[in-house]
Amino acid sequence: MIRNKNSNSMDIARKYLDSLVIEGRILGSVHPSTKTSFLGMEFDTPVMGAALSHLKPGMAGYAEGLKKANAFCSVGMGENDDFEKVLATGAKVMKVIKPYADPEEIFSRICFAEEHGAVAVGIDVEHATNSEDDQDSLVAGYQMKQPTLEELKTYVASTKLPFFFKGVMSAKDAVTAKEIGAAGVILSHHNNIFRCAAPHVFLLPEIREAVGPDFILIVDGGIEDGYDAFKALARGADLVSVGRPFMPPYEAEGPDGVAKTVEEFTNQLKAMMLRTGAKDLASIDPSVVREAYWM
């Protein structure tokens, strides 16, 4: 039984993001660039598509919209034939795989991704159980299982593609992920599966300090606009992963709706960069972010 609103990680994260205020540094500012390099590829924005699954208009159109915006794309659960359609769009895509109870299911999906042109793979380390208990669950009819550390090592070692763990929410786990060969982590409570989770943007500075500058940190969930994106980037994220805000525009306008929303987020991010004296993403100064203790 959920006793109060504070047990909802989405609400906690929202409250924390809203408590962050920004110091203005406008004198001498120039119109900024949001171009970013990720896995050796160049993108126009650090706003990427989250690993959504089973979108009604189809996953391929979602990827097409992100490609139009020259933004990175990740996709979640789905069969290989649907994933092949996503890759056929030419979008740069990461496949995020569920923690299936059968390891061969995971290995086969990693192999398919590598052979068909994905640029990265990952695994939802937190999605084996639901928020109510610790029992392995069924997801879309598939049995899940919490992966062991040894299993995670074998998944990373099975591919030449950069590997990401989605669901990491601490410096300790981020360091472990780095030690076993991951290219980065996706900080996510997976839409409140992890109840009472400390906000990822709150944790970002200590995670960044623990893993160093070259380990990739992606913030997933709760990024509702470019202003949120700025706060996450300023506190140590390399990219911000956006999902739900893309869904209504995609349903209404197809790929163009996704591309327009990426552009809107990016323009808001640029406005924050202009007002804080950041000419590019590397120039964003973490000290402009202040915690409003009175809020």
| Residues labelled as active-site residues | 190
Place of tokens 């980037």: 233
As given in the structure block, the two tokens for residue 120 are 């990265």
**CA dihedral angle for residue 175, residue 41, residue 254, residue 166, rounded to 10 degrees:** -10
As given in the structure block, the two tokens for residue 252 are 């209404």
49 near 240, Cβ under 8 Å?
no
38 near 72, Cβ under 8 Å?
yes
Rounded CA separation 124/97 (Å): 6
Rounded CA separation 70/89 (Å): 12
Rounded CA separation 18/119 (Å): 34
